[in-house]
Amino acid sequence: MPVFDIPEDALEERFLSGGGPGGQNVNKVATAVQLRVNLFRLGLPPYAYRKIRELAGSRLTSANEILIQANRFRTQEANRQDARERLSEMIAKAHERDPRRIATKPGKAAKARRTDAKKARGSIKQGRGKVRLD
């Protein structure tokens, strides 16, 4: 997986007190990391920009920033590293291009089978009508 250079001016880190393991230490030390990434400053090509917006989902803010929360570990540095790794994985995934889709049409035999099935179904339904005593 290629590593992409993330400009430091595109990142903003904030340390919060997080839940999880750590006992009483959790209440005293701000170990959780909230990483904000400005998408415009990343300098992504248009296809990667569109895909990263799709990948970010609910983590994307109205100011076009991705918000990554990391509180898996007990230390600030480990959470910081985790957040940055998750960001680089997301950027790498955004650079992967989807294969071009080739539009196909159904063949003649498939069309014929479909119309035959529709006619058969229609005749079955027609047989369900009211019984008339002539």
Residues 11-44: tens digit of each pLDDT: 777 787 766 666 666 666 777 888 888 888 887 8
Q: Which fold has domain 8-95?
A: Double Stranded RNA Binding Domain (3.30.160)
Q: What is the pTM assigned to this prediction?
A: 0.62
In this predicted structure, what is the pLDDT of residue 27? 65
Q: Which residue stretches of the chain are H helix?
A: 25-28, 39-42, 46-56, 76-95, 108-126
Q: Which amino acid is at 98?
A: D
Extents of the domains making up the chain? 8-95
Residue keyed to tokens 């179904």: 121
In this predicted structure, what is the pLDDT of residue 116? 97
- Name the region of 59 (left: φ>0; alpha: ψ -120 to 50; beta: rest): alpha
The whole-number average pLDDT for the span 82-107 is 88
